[in-house]
Amino acid sequence: MDSITEEEIAEPVSPTGESFNTSLLCAYVLGFLESEVPLDDSQTVYLLKNVFLPINPRFSSIMVRDENGKMMWKRVQVKLEDHIKVPVFPSSQSTNSELYDQYFDEYISKIMMERTPQNKPLWEIHVIKYPTTSAAGTVIFKLHHSLGDGYSLMGALLSCLQRADDPSLPLSFPTRKPSEPQPSKGIFFKRFSSIVSSFSNSFSDFVWSILKSRMIEDDETPIRNGEGGAEFQPCVLNNISISLEQIKEIKSKLGVTINDVITGMIFYGIRLYMQELDFKEKTANSTALVLLNTRNIGGYQSIQEMMKTDSKSPWGNYISFLHVPIPTLSKDRLSNPLRFVKKAHEIIKKKRRSFSVFLVGWLLEMEMKLRGREVAAKHMYGTMRKSSVIISNLVGPVERMALANHPVKGFYFTVMGTPECIGITVISYVETVRITLKTQKGFIEEKKLRSCMEKAFEVLYKEAMERK
């Protein structure tokens, strides 16, 4: 092993970062930027060298073990040509974009199964210069999860982009509205009751999370085969685009949040899919594992702020998870699908008052420090494998973006290297919400699942608009 000097070390690898890079669990985040115009990759090296690499020392570092046995980030000389991939698809006389869709899907399935070598920084850029039915070209950022969580990597990616209408202005994001003030009458008793309820919910959620991670598995169903090893199987990506304005209309009608609407739609779509394949499965015990950011913040901060030692939103892996039961397709919910949204609202509202997210995060960190990264990775892997679906969501910018003067038409991401049969990621961009379905090839009927998701939203929107 190379000797390590103080100048070469960026920082120790975080416990969660180590857990994401083990023999059992090796996770990546793939970010997709769809261009409105054909791609000119002549500026790729310049942008990576002068914009991407300076964002964080980890992009120029590899993992090594120091003399005390601790994993550290060691700075190395980056050979950019080893990180830039420009695939060549089979030649064809046809300019049919649907043909390139097939090549594109096959290429994505291939790179999702590949691990990046450990002797170079853990990231790659794939430039797809062929047009598809979705875009004139696509840039794919493949980033190892040990480099940072979705919040960190999103901040890094966005720092490479500009506003399409005015590059001198920063990108902006949806803001959270402050909670409405409570009336002073009886406020003491309400707060006391809320605190008691919060502690009770936190304890039960924490215990349930431990049981789900170590002992209790979801039923084997059309969305979970129970065999494990899905991370080594080919996957298929399908995207669903939904109008943010229509989501807001449902939100206003039902008095819930945007997340409630999206979650209710996902749950309803999953149950429709399960029922179509096996009617008995509409009441199966199925759980969604929701990955969450544990930073106590309301929006993105600049890379400069994230890199400060006293930052409220520091760079790294600050994640936890919650087990959320997928509501069954009972008679009342089948006759009134809006109950899926209401049920999602009830569950999420209860979870928000719980400290279990932070307790689970603390438990993972303690397990890593006391028992080692392989044990912590085994815990995380088992938690994911015992669940039916993994859901992760991020908030995107409200203005259109551009990458080196290439207007970005669409934007989505997915997570690979995890053992679930269905992974669902959600991100907003301008006035569209993009839902990406990552499904195990040969087990999940991906077209049927997508159809059920689209049907779920159509039914929910229709029902909500007809509601007085």
Q: What is the pLDDT of residue 43?
A: 87
Check for a shared fold between 6-163 and 197-397+417-466.
yes
Selection from 392, 419, 344, 451 nearest residue 24 by Cα: 419
Range picked from 3-7, 306-310, 376-380 for highest mean pLDDT: 376-380
178 vs 448, residue with greater confidence: 448
Which residues have CB under 8 Å from 467's CB, separation 6+? 253, 338
Q: At the fourth CATH level, which superfamily is domain 6-163?
A: Chloramphenicol acetyltransferase-like domain (3.30.559.10)
Query: What would the mean pLDDT of 297-322 be, rounded to a whole number?
Result: 70
Q: Quick one: tokens of 335?
A: 């006759």
Any idea what the Cα angle at residue 292 is, between residues 416 and 142, rounded to 5°? 30
Q: What is the pLDDT of residues 194-238, one digit of tens each?
A: 454 556 667 677 777 777 777 889 999 999 988 777 888 899 999
Rounded-to-10 torsion of CA 401, 262, 301, 407: 0
Asked if 220 and 226 count as a contact pair (C-beta separation under 8 A), the reply is yes
Q: What is the pLDDT of residue 22?
A: 87
Q: Where are the domains of the chain?
A: 6-163, 197-397+417-466
The helix-helix angle for 187-214 and 338-352 (nearest 10°) equals 100
Look up the pTM and report it: 0.88
Confidence of residue 271 (pLDDT cuts 50, 70, 90): very high
Helix (H) / strand (E) element for 182: namely: none
Distance CA 197, CA 418 (A): 34
Query: What would the mean pLDDT of 110-138 be, rounded to a whole number?
Result: 93
Q: What is the pLDDT of residues 415-438, one digit of tens each?
A: 999 999 999 999 999 999 999 999
Distance CA 184, CA 59 (A): 52
Least confident of 35-39, 340-344, 448-452: 340-344
Q: What is the pLDDT of residue 320?
A: 74
Distance CA 85, CA 40 (A): 14
Confidence of residue 192 (pLDDT cuts 50, 70, 90): very low
Q: What is the CATH code of the structural domain delimited by 197-397+417-466?
A: 3.30.559.30
Exposure pattern of 398-410 as b/e (b: 16+ CB <10 Å)? ebbbbbbebebbb
The yes-or-no verdict on residue 303 having pLDDT over 80 is no
Least confident of 86-90, 112-116, 325-329: 325-329
Distance CA 295, CA 244 (A): 25
Helix (H) / strand (E) element for 445: namely: none
Distance CA 262, CA 241 (A): 12
Confidence of residue 266 (pLDDT cuts 50, 70, 90): very high
Distance CA 44, CA 47 (A): 5
Sheet holding 137-144, edge to edge: 84-85, 123-128, 137-144, 28-35, 406-416, 401-403, 162-163
Q: How far apart are the first and last CA of the chain?
A: 70
Neighbouring-strand partners of residue 393: 426
The yes-or-no verdict on residue 33 having pLDDT over 60 is yes
Helix (H) / strand (E) element for 400: namely: none
Which long-range contacts (C-beta less than 8 Å, at least 24 apart) are formed by 378-384?
378/24, 379/213, 379/214, 380/19, 380/25, 381/24, 381/25, 381/419, 382/213, 382/214, 383/209, 383/212, 383/213, 383/289, 383/321, 384/289, 384/418, 384/419, 384/420
Q: What is the pLDDT of residues 50-69, one digit of tens each?
A: 989 998 889 999 999 888 77
Selection from 232, 250, 290, 307 nearest residue 459 by Cα: 250
